[in-house]
Amino acid sequence: MDTEVRKIQKKCLEILDIVDGICHKYGIKYSLCGGSVVGAYLHNACLPWDDDIDLMMTRDNYNCFIQVAKSELPEGFSIHNYQTGTDFDTPFTKIMNDHTTIVQQDGCVSGVFLDITVYDRIPTNFLASMSTFLWKVSQVVMIGKVEPTNLQQRLRNLMLSTVFRSKRLYLKFFQLVVELSSKSSSKYTYSELFGAYANTTRFAPEIFENYVMVRFEEREYMIVRDMYEYLHTRYNRTDFREPKEKQFAPHYQYVNFELPYKEYLSKSKRE
């Protein structure tokens, strides 16, 4: 019998098949990402406790996907990020099954989703420091206001109420600067400036410029050719197996495979 986590994985695999089809149609390169790469590397499948599937793309591929996804996604599936709508302002992209509901540990409500993170080219000259500074500002903007207990936190809240009052506008500005600076140098690395996690780890260009197909969940999907080097750089270790205490579903507190998430939200407001 399928566990609830396994049912989530199957819904995520349905979304992955859709994204994979769009990418093949338009010649867009992508790779499994994060824990999904660990699963591919160790088991050629999702990690048994992993309750989502993650993908990653370089900026050019990501922008191309964003441009075509809305018209290519079938009925009942939708794309969300700070560029495409007003209901989710994540710095990365979520592809959702609109006919389902998942409530994450932080209380965020959506359909069962697949995340797509963009990796940008970061020059190894002085512009790298500027990108890192803007990334640090983005972390403040995304977290938002805090309970003020000192002058620094009051100033932070003031800036968030004035200069940085719109997450979307700041992220669009940040994206523009990063894209312009990426063209300034022939020496560069790749970094997850717009990701779900707070890190600016630098990846060697070779990692994101070579791809292969890998067997994953009895299907073939695209992945960075050097899985080991990607994982080694991302996690800064050589053994990617998690100890027992970390083998748990990290994201959700409630899931319903029959209830559209917008209906769940509407019902919650009435109650």
DSSP per-residue string spanning 118-184: EEEEEESSTHHHHHHHHHHHHHHHHH------SHHHHHHHHHHHTTT--HHHHHHHHHHHHHHHTTS
pLDDT recorded at residue 164: 86
Instruction: Please state the rounded mean pLDDT for residues 158-178.
Output: 90
Which positions ≥6 away from 229 have C-beta within 8 Å? 204, 206, 207
Backbone angles phi, psi at 180, to 5 degrees: -65, -45
| pTM for the model | 0.91
pLDDT of residue 206: 97
Confidence band, pLDDT 50/70/90 cuts, at residue 238 = very high
Give the residue, 233 or 142, on which the prediction is more confident: 233
What is the arithmetic mean of pLDDT over 74-88? 91
The per-residue pLDDT for 87 is 81
Is pLDDT of 1 > 60? no
Cβ neighbours around 106 below 10 Å, total = 7
Identify the CA nearest to 88 among candidates 64, 111, 120, 56.
111
| Residue 67 near residue 84, CB atoms below 8 Å | no
- Where in the sequence is the domain holding 110, given as residue range(s)? 4-269
Overall number of domains in the chain: 1
Which of 10-14, 89-93, 204-208, 220-224 has the weakest average pLDDT? 89-93
Band (pLDDT 50/70/90 cuts) for residue 255 is: very high
C-alpha–C-alpha distance, residues 236 and 256, integer Å? 36
Q: What is the mean pLDDT of the chain?
A: 92
Question: How high is the pLDDT of residue 195?
Answer: 83
> CB–CB of 132/200 below 8 Å?
yes
